[in-house]
Structure 1
């Protein structure tokens, strides 16, 4: 009887620990990702300079490329600079924007990408997607999964706490995203990849249920692992579905309707996830999320990120238009503005009690 299996696109190396960045050259050499040490390393114009000063003596064969912003133009410029130089790999060293630019550039020139994250703000560090600004706003571009992910806990701890909080919101929102995916299966017959759903949900649950705080190594490791697993779950699914549901529609609506006032991605999707769980009748889970978010300093009400209740109602009403064709609890309920307002009043009362 034949044994049927599938190949899962995932990093060859996931190195999450204190001091991991200082061992980057050794890890890449030992795993035969770069035996020559000839690397193209993309860094930001700002904080990246300090990292270059620290790592350049350890990576004598590397060339360093400054990236000014997270646009498609920057990604193309980086690709053009790298092209023809016979590098072993491209390294994206920094936050989400730098890694996404490096992902796109590496894909364009046909080189593997090593993601070295300096903060834990969202699940894009290991996803098969590069999110880049373009002339029409922002676009998502399919790219290969990074061949290696390196996260130095000493480095991410030094990043502003709001980045870690954002990552918490993004990871925990998986629980709501998978619930939306399963709803689409029940109502519309949409196919759910069970492995991708399990990976995304368990990543969210692990962060939700961990008793530690943002200053604890063990909590940071669980959060980092959760964000990596979420990225792999999207690669398994071949789609962002395991980590993008109603909460992400709400986030996109915040960004589109109030671009100058929008909070961080993780804060907005966390708030959206709490509200979406309430909408689907999972009041206990919504309250549990709210308790955990408050413990970590994340918002659970729009007023906590500078928006009125009426503005939030407007955001939720607009949210389904941000992802045409995606079916979530928002599309399923198809609430009127007045019904959203009533639902929000119930939600606010429930999480305050």
Structure 2
């Protein structure tokens, strides 16, 4: 008899609401993640220390580890420090760098990870990947999904709003990434996982079409849910394909070519997604992306994050080299330098025309 269903790797619990941190100890106990209360908690030196003061009374059995940064060496040092502690679980409490270090360390010592996000800057909080800086630049390391994800909206609102905006750009870029995946399926016969694609696309669409702003609880909830679902979609697919296409290739190109000037991950991915969608000829979606990115205070032109036209053209030309073997609209069109420059001019004109019409 054929197998009629499949198991999907996903967190045991996802708690997204205002005040979620107030019951972190109870959640870990009730979900049988930690009966003894012996936890290894990875935190940053800034906001992490303030949260430690708040949470320590409720977590008397926890040992707190300050993470120096977001490098592979930092993650290995964290694992080495934790491995003799006989803990029930590792808690990563912080932003992307802290959670990625905690993911890697937990995997290295064979413990489950609880991801407690203090900002919503990107979709890595629930993904099966730890992105860490190394001697060669930056690497992606496969790790298990978090066993639990806790997002306290009160804490999210305390972080600089640029982190929420970055998450918006990353979530919206899913729509472009899935379109690239479907293109690779049509042209190259690449396998596509319909469930993973549906999860990633709907997460992006929910953020794209929500009328709220970056300070509304309703919008923050949808964004947080979208980022969690995107992480699970990558687990379903077995790689980053549902959330990474030409948009992320352009982002990686900015990071590699201009490492000291690069903007946030989500700003670059949102801009890359809008341009890639324009290249696909999907004017309606590209126009909507631009309007929504603008409404949330995100860039739609490279000049808005300090890059000139020639630098953007250079990044787009270099982008396919960042993910060898990945087929997107950039590989499909295989544009020359002059063709990229012409396409960018068309993109700018389309934005100006749409804004003039709207005004």
TM-score by length of 1: 0.99
Q: Tell me the equivalent position of 1:248.
A: 248
Distance (Å, rounded) in 1 between the aligned partners of 2:22 and 2:40:
17
**Cα offsets for 1:126-149 (capped at 9, x unmatched):** 000000011111000000000000
**SS where residue 98 of structure 1 aligns?**
helix
Q: Tell me the equivalent position of 2:63.
A: 63
Q: Tell me the equivalent position of 1:122.
A: 122
Deviates more, 1:290-299 or 1:2-11: 2-11
Q: Tell me the equivalent position of 1:309.
A: 309
Q: Tell me the equivalent position of 1:111.
A: 111
Q: Report deviation, 1:84.
A: 2.3
Distance (Å, rounded) in 1 between the aligned partners of 2:159 and 2:312:
29
Q: Tell me the equivalent position of 2:352.
A: 352
Q: Tell me the equivalent position of 2:9.
A: 9
Q: Report deviation, 1:22.
A: 1.3
Distance (Å, rounded) in 1 between the aligned partners of 2:221 and 2:150:
12
Distance (Å, rounded) in 2 between the aligned partners of 1:8 and 1:284:
34
Q: Tell me the equivalent position of 2:276.
A: 276
Distance (Å, rounded) in 1 between the aligned partners of 2:148 and 2:310:
44
Distance (Å, rounded) in 2 between the aligned partners of 1:325 and 1:12:
34
**SS where residue 92 of structure 1 aligns?**
strand
Q: Report deviation, 1:2.
A: 4.4
**SS where residue 131 of structure 1 aligns?**
strand
Unaligned runs of 5+ in 2: 354-359
TM-score by length of 2: 0.98
Q: Report deviation, 1:352.
A: 1.5
**SS where residue 91 of structure 2 aligns?**
strand
Measured on the aligned residues, the alpha-carbon RMSD in Å equals 0.7
The answer as to 2:149 corresponding to 1:149 is: yes
Q: Report deviation, 1:3.
A: 4.7
Distance (Å, rounded) in 2 between the aligned partners of 1:302 and 1:139:
25
**SS where residue 242 of structure 2 aligns?**
helix
Distance (Å, rounded) in 2 between the aligned partners of 1:13 and 1:137:
34
**Cα offsets for 1:231-266 (capped at 9, x unmatched):** 000000000000000000000000011111100000
**SS where residue 42 of structure 1 aligns?**
strand
Distance (Å, rounded) in 1 between the aligned partners of 2:135 and 2:257:
17
**Cα offsets for 1:280-314 (capped at 9, x unmatched):** 00011101000000000000000100111111111
Q: Tell me the equivalent position of 1:136.
A: 136
**SS where residue 146 of structure 1 aligns?**
coil
Distance (Å, rounded) in 2 between the aligned partners of 1:8 and 1:79:
27
Q: Report deviation, 1:85.
A: 1.4
Distance (Å, rounded) in 2 between the aligned partners of 1:260 and 1:73:
21
Q: Tell me the equivalent position of 2:356.
A: none
